[in-house]
Structure 1
Amino acid sequence: MKKKLAIALALMFVTTTAGTVFAAENNPFSSVPTNHWAYQSVNKLVKAGLIDGYGDGDFRGDKPITRYEMASLVAKAMSNEEKADAGLKSELTKLEGEFSDELKNLGVRVTTLEKNQPNFKMNGSFDVRYTDKSFPDANSSGVKKATDVKGEYRLRLNGEAKVDSKTTFGMRIVNNGPNSSNFNNNTWQIFGNSDNSNSSSTDNARIDRAYFNTKIGVSDATIGRQALKLDANDLLVDSGAYSYDGIKLATKVNKFTFAFNHGRFANGVTFKKNDGTDISTATGTYYNNYRNMDVDSLGVSYADKQFNAGVTYAQLKNFSKDDMDLKKWVAVNAGYLLNPKLSVAAEYVTNSADPVSTGVTGGDDAWFAKVLYGDQALKKAGQQNIALKYYDVGANSIVPALFGPDPLTRDGGSMVHDFKGLGVDYNYAFSPTFTGEFNYLKVDDQVTSAQSSYNYYRAALHVKF
């Protein structure tokens, strides 16, 4: 957001003052033709993350812009030159030479504007959804579970402050989410409820993350309470909801990224059913063993324009029970862009730790596959896509209460451990920051009972700001 705001303000200032101040012999507002070599060079800088285009993540390389607009983008890239490799620095040098006159006039103003911006920046998201969870099968007495229909919302606010040239501070505020009194608590707030029915607190809004990121040698280090991201598709842990107290080290070498996580995930937490019943206190129960957890992981990933892949080893241990092995995961993922409108992705997870409860029956492996057709990223109004998804999850492969893909997680008393799921998602962009989606998922419970299988429908709207 800091980059977007600086560019937008710089362009506003230039376009409102340059007509009187810079009416030079060479028209400062003459357009740079779209076939000019500078477009290709700036696009490389955008893709490398040195600049973010016009503030909506799009450089708009199909439309001519003025030399001052182009120079403002170059100026922003120059401010992030330390992130550039040798090839990108060469591109920057050529651009600086081409737009040297504009940069001389613009540089003072861009620098002044950036210095005058507040150091603490915020962005966030607000989501609203309606869901319908229906159980088509009856038990032996002919009784079906009641259909669960509800409306919900979720608010998340992210804050960031620059500490020095290498260090930033970050935080997040949420209206609801997992907490010590109910670690499988829903991240959504039910319409009409002051809190969720399975939460023991009426005051759920809180700061759930606080950390700082700094450069240590060739690595980025993040220290504090931060997101727990273990695998590409969040099959192991819902990284949007769950945080841990520890350190993450990430090192990028060409197209490879190496990541290491270590820290304390949970300390004395409880898990509850939807009716508020504690399911984690009785000795020997499944969730009793997950009340205290440490986490460690090591992974490597690769990504280019068409192909991405990764492998991660992660483990959960109960530090209060002689470092009992709860999960010992290996997760392998891959994705491929077949053409601009079609991509495929898959992930395989296996757990080598023994079941921590005699009540768990089922396999140690989990599979996920996805086919996405349409616009691969919704960046403009009118863009859309449709996705077909499949899950095959063994009872001893994941922890249902931590499992990432909603709606298979945190369902209180009817959480399934061993299931198969087939679903379809449709996504549409009303604007780059306002999107809608419709989802259907059929979940087949493979262990508990046929009555626990269900059909899930969801319509949702998402706003980013």
Structure 2
Amino acid sequence: MKKQTAMALAAVFAMSVAGTALAAPANPFVDVPAKHWAYDSVNKLAKSGVISGYGDGTFKGDKTLTRYEIAVIVGKAMANSDKMDAETKKALEALKAEFGTELNNLGVRVDNLEKNASKIKFTGQVRERYEWTEDGGNENLLRLRLMMTAPVADGVTFKGRLATESAWGTGGTVALDQAYLTGKVAGVNYNFGRQPIYLGKGLLADTTSNNDGLVVTAGKDVKVTAGAFKKAVANYTIGNISADVAKNLNVTASYIEDKDATALYETTAAGISYNGFGKFAISGEFAKNDVNDIDAKATMAKVKYGVAKANEVNSFGAWVGYRQAEAGFDIKGLTTYDFTAAAGKASNDVKGYEYGIEYTVFKNGVLTLQYNDMKNYDETASKENLLAYLVYTF
């Protein structure tokens, strides 16, 4: 390899990471001691993903690299080219020309790599769930969600979700239940497309799938939200105010209405939450649906201790809550609160207590047990049910 090419390679290494403040890991390679003159540079290169060493955990700095090994390093540097200045990019172009054959043989398309590298980020979530109800409506369910995030333009991001759920031993249909753009214009945040809808403390609306519309939000300590969306055959308008009135204290006021001839919602709610008691958090909300003289009311309150963090094994949370909702409050089921299908909608014709515990059994794996000691609002029929589910992410 030409001397100037080797110097350019060194420049790419140094300059592609020099402007990035990265916390270097401790001894990523066993043969690079902390006192070695190249320790900091090697650590930064490893942290940025430009080099990965050998399978036995060594760096082998005295080993002569093959052209293919150098091409791999150049390819990784190309993927980080957005962090480089003009001079470094010029050096990288020389390396691309020198190792073009090897890069192509490795499956790297030199001309289009910068354009196409790592635009879409995928994450996934699987839930294995068991449901029991007193009337025998037991069920085992598997749910898979695949989330997508991708930049579209400066300040504009696409978010999407593919989801499927089915009983154990059966197949399921995959659906695109989220697909929307999110961004900011003139200080106003917006979501446009198929998006999650959450109002207040969740009693009014907490629905994550198949809501197509436009929602805008402005403000910092006092956030004002307005929007309209379509779900199934119904068209809804919404409004929400969320205000941090003191340290750890938040209050909300929410509204939802559907504009169809068979209108089922003209609902308002007021909520409050406080998390200033150490690991304890409390929340509550009251709401009323006035459409067509239904005059159906609902109330919820919850006290929770701790939280099961997916990245922290043995972390846990526990809670107790109370919920009551008259018949006609949430007919369509806009609250996707964890309730079994056999037990009915979570915020419609229901009354009783819930008890739950969540525990991180392995990294990115959280086990939840929830018992709902519920009846219908008039206390003439049982809605008692138990949920047990493991959620793991990747």
Q: Confirm or deny a common fold (TM above 0.5).
A: yes
Residue 446, structure 1, aligned to residue 391, structure 2:
no
Decide whether the 8 Å contact of 2:365 with 2:390 is kept in 1.
yes
Residue 111, structure 1, aligned to residue 83, structure 2:
yes
- What is the CA distance between 1:265 and its match in structure 2? 2.4
The 1:413/1:395 distance shift into structure 2, 3 A limit, reads closer
TM-score normalised by structure 1 residue count? 0.59
Q: Tell me the secondary structure at the aligned position of residue 195 of structure 2.
A: strand
Decide whether the 8 Å contact of 1:247 with 1:261 is kept in 2.
yes
Equivalent runs, 1:127-276 vs 2, <5 Å:
127-135=127-135, 147-176=136-165, 189-195=166-172, 204-233=173-202, 235-240=203-208, 242-253=209-220, 255-267=221-233
Structure with greater contact order relative to length (CA < 8 Å, sep ≥ 6): 1
The 1:13/1:207 distance shift into structure 2, 3 A limit, reads farther
TM-score normalised by structure 2 residue count? 0.68
Counterpart selection for 1:309 from 251, 257, 266: 251
The equivalent of 2:265 in structure 1 is 327
Counterpart selection for 1:398 from 330, 333, 343: 330
Matches of 2:315 and 2:335 in 1, distance apart?
Answer: 29
- What is the CA distance between 1:425 and its match in structure 2? 0.3
The structure that has the greater radius of gyration is: 2
Moved more, 118-127 or 256-265: 256-265
Residue 299, structure 1, aligned to residue 265, structure 2:
no
The 1:261/1:117 distance shift into structure 2, 3 A limit, reads same
Deviations 1:234-266 (A, max 9, x none): x233423x332211112232x222211213223
The equivalent of 1:424 in structure 2 is 355
The equivalent of 2:5 in structure 1 is none
Counterpart selection for 1:348 from 282, 286, 300: 286
- What is the CA distance between 1:162 and its match in structure 2? 0.5
Matches of 1:353 and 1:306 in 2, distance apart?
Answer: 34
Decide whether the 8 Å contact of 1:236 with 1:399 is kept in 2.
no
Opposite residue 333 of structure 1, the aligned amino acid is G
Q: What's the % identity of the aligned pairs?
A: 21
Opposite residue 390 of structure 1, the aligned amino acid is Y
- What is the CA distance between 1:427 and its match in structure 2? 0.7
Decide whether the 8 Å contact of 2:207 with 2:335 is kept in 1.
no
Decide whether the 8 Å contact of 1:166 with 1:214 is kept in 2.
yes
Matches of 2:263 and 2:389 in 1, distance apart?
Answer: 38
Deviations 1:399-437 (A, max 9, x none): 2533321216x4488999422021100111124521111
Matches of 1:23 and 1:120 in 2, distance apart?
Answer: 38
The 1:375/1:413 distance shift into structure 2, 3 A limit, reads closer
The equivalent of 1:272 in structure 2 is none
Q: Which has the higher strand share?
A: 2
Q: What is the RMSD computed on CA atoms of the aligned residues?
A: 3.8
Structure 1 regions of 5+ residues with no counterpart? 1-6, 30-65, 73-107, 136-146, 177-188, 196-203, 268-292, 357-362
Aligned length: 312
Residue 457, structure 1, aligned to residue 386, structure 2:
yes
Deviations 1:195-241 (A, max 9, x none): 5xxxxxxxx212122111122110111111112223322x233423x
Matches of 1:16 and 1:301 in 2, distance apart?
Answer: 49
Counterpart selection for 2:299 from 334, 344, 367: 367
Opposite residue 211 of structure 2, the aligned amino acid is Y
Matches of 1:413 and 1:334 in 2, distance apart?
Answer: 26
Q: Tell me the secondary structure at the aligned position of residue 83 of structure 2.
A: helix
